[in-house]
Amino acid sequence: MIASAGSASRRAFGALELSRQAEVIASAAPRLLASTTAAQQMRTDLDIRKELAELDRLLGLVKSGRPDRASLAEIESCVTWLRGNLAQLQELVGTRWHQLGPRRTELLNRIAQVTDDAQWELENWSRQFDLRIAQVRSTVTDSSLSQQARDKAITNLAQTLASARPQQLIRTWFTDIHSGLLQATSASASDLPHVAFNLSTWVQSIDRPLENVDPGLKSRLAGSIRGFRALAEGPDSVPEFRGKELALFAKGEKLL
């Protein structure tokens, strides 16, 4: 009787410790998903592996107490389920750091590069614009030149000024697209469709102000515009990438 009672007590104690250990592992799992660096992920993963080893040890103690088959089968099923969820979670985190992480860095670099290229072309055009204005002023005030030459300079000035407004619109368009792309990289699941819609609208509407832009500037901006469109729409776009990130986080939360 005393031996039987002792055995039952050990089984109960072992089951309680096993339950507590499972809780320890479950509480550590969110840290794995929330890891902000690969090093932090590896440390958390190592901690969880140690806790899993302790879980196996406690499961062995429970088995040694010879519990009834139905209870043991349920316990083993729960342990297997826990291990499976953790394995999937570790796989998701690995995907995040080894695939999505480098891709995010690549996209951010592309956003910066395309924006810098576009801004450089616009700034270069602005410098040339200022130079033409200065040249016209010099011509108009040069009394040694004929009236015909000065009238021609004034006509050129009017044409130059007419091209300034479309250029300003293009600059505003690029600023909006750049801002939208950065918003898309961190948009929530509820905000992403709205941000993606705005980006699509902007890149599709950019041809309108381009119609009146200086042909030389328009040609030089063509590469930047293609770059912005690729980042804003399509399978390799920022919204598409952010959607994959959000899907991964949602699956991770479900596993937790």
**In whole angstroms, how far apart are CA 215 and each of 52, 63, 203, 208, 211?**
67, 81, 19, 14, 9
Q: What's residue 178's pLDDT?
A: 94
How far is it, in rounded angstroms, from Cα 139 to Cα 243? Answer: 57
Q: What DSSP line would sit under 64-99, residue for residue?
A: HT---HHHHHHHHHHHHHHHHHHHHHHHHHHHIIII
**Domains plus CATH for the chain?**
2-99 (1.20.58), 100-255 (no CATH)
For residue 62, the model assigns a pLDDT of: 80
Judge whether 236 and 185 are in contact, CB under 8 Å: no
Task: Decide: 174 and 125 in contact? Cβ < 8 Å.
Answer: no
What is the pLDDT at residue 215? 77
Mean pLDDT by 10 residues, the chain (256 residues): 51 75 81 76 83 84 77 82 83 78 91 93 80 71 70 67 71 90 94 94 81 77 90 94 89 81
pLDDT at 7: 55
- The pTM assigned to this predicted structure is 0.70
Q: Is 182 helix (H, G, I), strand (E, B) or coil?
A: helix
pLDDT of residue 160: 64
* Alpha-carbon gap, residue 83 to 77, rounded angstroms: 10
